[in-house]
Structure 1
Amino acid sequence: MSFLVHYEAKINTRVRNIAGYILFAASTFLVLVLDLGTSGRGGIGPYLGLCAISACFGVADAHVQGGMVGDLSLMHPEFIQSFFAGLAASGVLTSGLRLLTKGAFGNSHNGLRKGAILFFAISTFFESICVILYARYFPKLSIVKYYRSKAASEGSTTVSADLAAAGILTDSNRQVASEAKQHERMSHKQLLLENIDYAADLFLIYVLTLSIFPGFLYENTGSHQLGEWYPLVLIAMYNVLDLISRYVPLIQCLKMESRKGLLISILARFLLIPAFYFTAKYGDQGWMILLVSFLGLTNGYLTVCVLTVAPKGYEGPEQNALGNLLVLFLLIGLFAGVSLDWLWLIGKGQEF
């Protein structure tokens, strides 16, 4: 853990986030280059290239999500709600574009490829804007400068480059205070032990969600009246409800802050596994749409509740470190969920 503390002191949040945003934009653009360069043909070469680009997306996501959550945690935990609402909004936008391209190119030659090219071109444009906004304008916002200055006075060393970008130079007295408080801050191990239930919460949320979404919805939904539109509608409903649910905690009386209540609610979500199995086997499309909507609703709501409650009561350096640790467990849960997604195919294979 001492190595991690030393490493965090060397890597500032600005470098980490900008690198992540640039890698996102570059990787998206490379998908376009790969497709256009091969004229959409398959083969082992393009496949390996696509795998490498997918790995770059994972690295970019880890940089941006960890860095931003850590940064927003030391500012104000409620800011995390807006960030995660933005992530959900991107899912809604993606679903909207997919439905649009399906309608526009569904019956044309190479319609799926044309829709994908349009999607990645639009994505590259928006991701490039994100790089500019974060690098040039975000550090200069008054509220951002206030919280980062406050974090620096409490001993945070990861905000120095952001403060310099905003035109704020820490004087020698502040640096001395920061060095003194650096020795008083909690270690990563201490933070993790104090918040192990929150870390487990995020792991369990995303193990369940990604073991169902989106793989199960494409492979195990059967044939229904909506035909080829059916999985697209399911994905869109999940994304829309996931977005809406991330705003629910803004209503204080609806926000769950009990640690025990959060854990019980998250464990209860695992009842969705048999529910999805039997609905796919015996239910109609209306029940499946309702179930998918509930999956999205609980995913977004519980994620925001955990991440906005956990950093409270800590000073800037601890909030930053805790935000990074929690995102680490979120990503581990995401990876585990995607890895377990294939287990649905076992039961499906036995039916044939």
Structure 2
Amino acid sequence: MIIADGGELPARLEGKFSAMVICWILGLGSLVAWNSMLTIGDYYYNLFPTYHPSRVLTLVYQPFALGTMAILAYNESRIDTRQRNLVGYLLFFASTFMLIVLDLATSGRGGVGPFIGICAFVGGFGIADAHVQGGMVGDLSFMLPEFIQSFLAGLAASGALTSALRLITKAAFEKSNDGLRKGTMLFLGISTFFELLCVLLYAFFFPKLPIVKYFRSKAASEGSKTVKADLAAAGIQTKEDQGDEDNAKQNDRLSNKQLFFQNIDYALDLFLIYVLTLSIFPGFLYENTGEHKLGTWYPLVLIASYNLWDLISRYLPLVKFLMIESRKGLTIAILSRFLLIPAFYFTANYGDQGWMILLVSFLGLTNGHLTVCVLTAAPKGYKGPEQNALGNLLVLCLLAGIFAGVALDWLWLIGKKNAF
């Protein structure tokens, strides 16, 4: 996203590749729990056929994510990043594990009570997402752009991984008694493992990498207070007598308002990307695409197609001529995506499943590619504390776009029989 200034890195720094791998895994852990909920939608539609689970659970998730993110973004300069991220990953782990417990306790029965319980844990996912996604993007914003790209690729990989696992478990358990539920339990168990892995990696391995210590020390020297706990975990103690100097540097930094208006086009870009994507994915794909030859496999194939191309597209900006750096070019490309709305409408009503799979793939391709382009094209030249703040603001706009898209997704139900 926003690279710290300061010329070339010291040659003695090590751990760049290790840091990129860990960022990828941490990105995967940031969304694997939520993507698990989206991908096992067929199980919840079987339990709660009249509750619109994919739409309702998404609508429950987003207010918690957006509200928490707004609070955290406003107070980011005073929040310990290490504590924030660990709380987020631990909450992901606990909520995913409790979904398994709830299903076992209710023996996989439907009804209002279990559905409310699922909604409560999904709200926990939203709170965790705000802690982790904003915290990680802010933290990586003053490091290398490759770290941000790896983290974003990990986010997309969570969708591709969960879709692949869902297709495998559906095939493996389709003919067994209670096969849908068995596959779902295995699925949630794997997600719980990944969340625990993220807790361990972030707590004990990531802060000790030399390249990570270098950038965090640099941010601390520029007045950042959010990295002190991570530096302490890496064995680096900041001087206590620098308090007045740090406060002076903090007071000298641009305000969140100034940062927002200097980058309002990027903020609007992220908002519009996710307004469109979430107005279609996943509710429209589950409820508005009709029935086709693939039968119960159809929505799973659509979700998998989206997630696969979303993942692939997040590596495309690494090819220089595919990277969109022009601010006007990005805005034009993002606005042109809204032509997908009539395309999806006519394909759902008049097209066959092949055209729908093609459209969904293009939706994923443009979503991932443009997200990485926006976050890596954000202007350089800010100091560490400002880069952290800008990262949080951009994630806030992204989540606002998701929330708006989720709300607009309900408009597809207008005129549909037995919709409400």
Q: TM-score, normalised by structure 1?
A: 0.95
For residue 348 of structure 1, report the CA deviation from its aligned partner.
Answer: 3.3
The residue aligned with 1:182 is 250
Contact 1:77–1:309 (Cα < 8 Å) also in 2 = no
The residue aligned with 1:89 is 157
Gaps of 5+ in 1: none
The residue aligned with 2:267 is 199
Change (3 A) 1:24 1:5: closer
Written as runs of structure 1 = structure 2, the 5 A alignment for 1:211-250 is: 211-250=279-318
For residue 300 of structure 1, report the CA deviation from its aligned partner.
Answer: 0.2
For residue 347 of structure 1, report the CA deviation from its aligned partner.
Answer: 4.0
1:49 to 113, 117, 135: 117
Q: Distance in 1 between matches of 2:207 and 2:242?
A: 19
List per-residue Cα deviations over 1:108-166 (Å, max 9, x = no partner).
Answer: 22222111111111111111111001001010011110100011111111101000000
1:11 to 75, 79, 86: 79
Q: Distance in 1 between matches of 2:371 and 2:294?
A: 31
Written as runs of structure 1 = structure 2, the 5 A alignment for 1:115-126 is: 115-126=183-194
Written as runs of structure 1 = structure 2, the 5 A alignment for 1:291-306 is: 291-306=359-374
Q: Distance in 2 between matches of 1:252 and 1:87?
A: 22
The residue aligned with 2:146 is 78
What residue identity is the alignment partner of 1:309? A
Q: Distance in 2 between matches of 1:4 and 1:227?
A: 43
What residue identity is the alignment partner of 2:269? D
Contact 2:135–2:392 (Cα < 8 Å) also in 1 = yes
Q: CA RMSD in A?
A: 1.7
- Equivalent position SS for 1:74: coil
Q: Distance in 2 between matches of 1:169 and 1:261?
A: 45
List per-residue Cα deviations over 1:210-238 (Å, max 9, x = no partner).
Answer: 11011111112222222221111111111
For residue 276 of structure 1, report the CA deviation from its aligned partner.
Answer: 0.4
Change (3 A) 1:291 1:39: same
| Pair 1:104-2:172 in alignment | yes
2:412 to 338, 341, 344: 344
What residue identity is the alignment partner of 1:243? L
2:319 to 246, 251, 258: 251
Q: Distance in 2 between matches of 1:348 and 1:199?
A: 34
The residue aligned with 2:395 is 327
Change (3 A) 1:107 1:5: closer
Q: Distance in 2 between matches of 1:70 and 1:148?
A: 12
For residue 75 of structure 1, report the CA deviation from its aligned partner.
Answer: 1.2
The residue aligned with 1:289 is 357
2:221 to 139, 153, 166: 153
Q: Distance in 2 between matches of 1:88 and 1:197?
A: 24
What residue identity is the alignment partner of 2:166? R
The residue aligned with 1:262 is 330
Change (3 A) 1:303 1:264: same
For residue 77 of structure 1, report the CA deviation from its aligned partner.
Answer: 3.1
| Pair 1:169-2:237 in alignment | yes
Larger CA deviation: 302-311 vs 5-14: 5-14
Gaps of 5+ in 2: 1-70
Contact 1:5–1:187 (Cα < 8 Å) also in 2 = no
Larger CA deviation: 290-299 vs 251-260: 251-260
List per-residue Cα deviations over 1:80-111 (Å, max 9, x = no partner).
Answer: 11101001001011001110111011222222
- Equivalent position SS for 1:57: helix
Contact 1:205–1:303 (Cα < 8 Å) also in 2 = yes
For residue 15 of structure 1, report the CA deviation from its aligned partner.
Answer: 0.5
The residue aligned with 2:182 is 114
Contact 1:153–1:174 (Cα < 8 Å) also in 2 = no
Contact 1:198–1:326 (Cα < 8 Å) also in 2 = yes
Larger CA deviation: 11-20 vs 308-317: 308-317
The number of aligned residues is 349
What residue identity is the alignment partner of 1:52? A
For residue 251 of structure 1, report the CA deviation from its aligned partner.
Answer: 1.3
